[in-house]
């Protein structure tokens, strides 16, 4: 079942990149460590944990092995301790350029080196001891102020970001972490960057880039002047304050961003809880009461819908639907079926949800007809990051192809029309290019199909779109083959969730949480952010 706790703090996972642009790797054989990998995958992913003694030291645990990095007095390093000991304690010393220096707390030496010649024996800091932090979590998340217990969101009226939201509801609460010149930027849903003086700018200039720091499992953002972002004033405006050391006001949690959707019924009105607890299709505009947070159970693939009023949709007497449940149960779970560009929902009583004549929704139908079909629109991914099994999707320089095995990622733009989506690419060559139902390259008779998704482990090219997702075709790295339509193929439907995990509110197989959720439990490589 999906967790009842909707506010899931992301466990910070990352890779450490040395001056030679190689990732710190924990090997299974002999529990050795090296810096030989050129990309961030499972063996290169680390989790930062606070020192159990509540000191300033931290622990580095391999996400792959579940063991801790340690440094002995003679400088030998390994990742073999299943429980943290004295030699596992490190101090993180952030540098002005955004990189980290790792110092053994008990021995006072610095950790660094190249290839398989790593040690923690240096008495001075050289380029070999400098590490770049590369986040391995989904870059699109919600940001929660620890001191105010309020969510950061974009305030268009004041043209600022503020930590004043009780709930991370709507698209304005979406933030995307952008890796830029060894630092991170905070990007709003309208593609602007937060500058340290609180203003929003269109380019990631120096004052809009921050060094990440961790304290007791929380995040802090240090600007180029050594000051930290914090909510300021009664409105909670996010800007760099006066402090040069992070206190409680400067600390934030990153929370998982679940898909938020609106549904339109056959009467062309929005499903809503505005007029009470009954779920009804009776509104003409999409606001908070018409927006529902959607969670997917990874085992059953069934979903729940959580309203802004604080309740899950649940099946009640005579098949009615009300947004009153406080806990996830069988009656709050719905099976999603795609019918072209529309979706049908089957409740726990085995019947389909339909719209009654008065607009109220009830699970009383045995068959799918017009009243049982809804348009499902994802509203909190106007911009998105895509990730496949082997890495992030990134535009290949000097080409119209996309690579799916990169440790860096492009930010794409998503547009919606009548149950179908278009993806607009990023980058020099891809700027302004769209892949979707309106693509001139797509055949006129291309029909929407949520199962038409296929992904190669190397390069992919987009060929068309459907109500649920984008149609892909395998193209080798050296292929000069022209793009053509890929027919619908149920046999590849299950690859969609892995191929397009993130912006994937586009189909039931893509909404499995891989695009929106933490990647800690992923069986595939775990690079930076994602779809």
pLDDT in tens, 19-36: 999 999 999 988 999 999
Q: For the residues 395-412, what does the mean pLDDT come to? A: 82
The more confidently predicted of residues 425 and 292 is 292
Residue 209, Cβ neighbours under 10 Å: how many?
A: 23
Predicted local distance difference test score (pLDDT) of residue 429: 33
- Residue 206 pLDDT > 50: yes
The more confidently predicted of residues 492 and 183 is 183
pLDDT in tens, 342-356: 999 999 999 999 999
DSSP string, 467-513: SSSEEEEE--TT--PPP-PPPP-GGGTTHHHHHS-SS--SSTTT-SS
Quickly state the pLDDT bin for 150 (edges 50, 70, 90).
very high
428: helix, strand or coil: coil
81-85, 231-235, 462-466: least confident range = 462-466
Quickly state the pLDDT bin for 470 (edges 50, 70, 90).
very low
Residues 6+ away with beta carbon under 8 Å from 331: 314, 315, 316, 325, 347, 348
The more confidently predicted of residues 294 and 217 is 294
- Residue 131 pLDDT > 90: yes
The more confidently predicted of residues 189 and 449 is 189
The more confidently predicted of residues 101 and 215 is 101
Predicted local distance difference test score (pLDDT) of residue 155: 94
- Residue 516 pLDDT > 70: no
- Residue 67 pLDDT > 80: yes
As a 3-state breakdown, the chain gives helix, strand, coil percent values, each rounded to 5, of 10, 40, 50
Q: Round the average pLDDT of the chain to a whole number and report it.
A: 79
The DSSP letter of residue 169 is: -
- Considering the chain, what percentage of its residues have pLDDT values greater than 90? 52
Predicted local distance difference test score (pLDDT) of residue 212: 86
How many angstroms separate the CA atoms of 453 and 464, rounded? 10
Residue 48 near residue 62, CB atoms below 8 Å: no
Quickly state the pLDDT bin for 54 (edges 50, 70, 90).
low
């Amino acid at each position: 079942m999906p967790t009842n706790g909707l506010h899931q703090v992301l466990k910070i996972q990352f890779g450490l990149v040395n001056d030679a642009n190689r990732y710190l790797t924990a090997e299974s054989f002999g529990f050795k460590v090296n810096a030989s990998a050129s990309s961030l995958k499972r063996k290169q992913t680390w989790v930062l944990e606070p020192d159990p003694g509540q000191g300033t030291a931290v622990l580095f645990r391999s996400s792959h092995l579940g063991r801790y990095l340690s440094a002995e007095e003679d400088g030998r390093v390994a990742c073999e301790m299943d429980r943290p000991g004295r030699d596992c304690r490190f101090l993180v010393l952030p540098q002005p350029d955004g990189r980290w220096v790792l110092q053994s707390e008990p021995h006072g030496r610095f950790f660094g080196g190249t290839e398989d010649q790593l040690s923690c024996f240096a008495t001075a800091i050289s380029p070999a001891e400098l590490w770049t932090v590369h986040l391995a979590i989904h870059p699109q998340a919600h940001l929660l102020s620890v001191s105010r217990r309020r969510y950061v969101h974009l305030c268009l009226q004041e043209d600022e970001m503020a930590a004043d939201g009780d709930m991370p509801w709507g698209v304005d609460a979406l933030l995307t972490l952008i890796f830029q010149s060894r630092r991170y930027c905070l990007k709003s849903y309208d593609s602007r960057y937060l500058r340290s003086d609180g203003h929003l700018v269109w380019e990631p200039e120096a004052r809009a880039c921050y060094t990440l720091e961790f304290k007791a499992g929380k995040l802090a953002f240090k600007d180029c002047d050594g000051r930290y972002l914090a909510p300021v004033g009664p409105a909670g405006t996010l800007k760099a304050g006066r402090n040069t050391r992070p206190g409680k006001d400067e600390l934030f949690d990153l929370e998982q961003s679940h898909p938020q959707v609106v549904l339109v019924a056959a009467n062309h009105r929005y499903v809503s809880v505005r007029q009470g607890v009954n779920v009804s299709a009776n509104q003409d505009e999409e606001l908070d009461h018409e927006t529902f947070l959607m969670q997917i159970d990874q085992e059953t693939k069934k979903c729940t819908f959580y309203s802004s009023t604080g309740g899950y949709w649940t099946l009640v007497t005579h098949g009615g639907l009300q947004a009153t449940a406080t806990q996830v149960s069988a009656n709050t779970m719905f099976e999603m079926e795609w019918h072209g560009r529309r979706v049908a929902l089957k409740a726990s009583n085995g019947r389909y949800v339909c719209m009654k004549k008065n607009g109220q929704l009830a699970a009383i139908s045995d068959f799918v007809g017009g009243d049982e079909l809804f348009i499902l629109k994802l509203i909190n991914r106007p911009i998105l990051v895509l990730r496949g099994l082997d890495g992030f999707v990134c535009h290949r320089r000097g080409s119209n192809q996309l690579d799916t095995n990169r440790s860096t990622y492009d930010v794409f733009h998503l547009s919606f029309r009548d149950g179908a989506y278009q993806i607009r690419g990023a980058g020099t060559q891809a700027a302004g290019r769209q892949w979707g139902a309106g693509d001139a390259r797509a055949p006129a008779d291309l029909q929407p199909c949520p199962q038409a998704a296929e992904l190669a482990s190397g390069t992919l090219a987009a060929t068309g779109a459907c109500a649920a997702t984008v149609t892909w075709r395998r193209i080798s790295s050296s292929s000069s083959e022209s793009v053509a339509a890929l027919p619908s193929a149920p046999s590849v439907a299950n690859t969609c969730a892995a191929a397009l995990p993130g912006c994937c509110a586009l189909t039931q197989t893509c909404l499995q949480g891989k695009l929106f959720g933490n990647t800690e439990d992923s069986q595939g490589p775990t690079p930076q952010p994602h779809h």
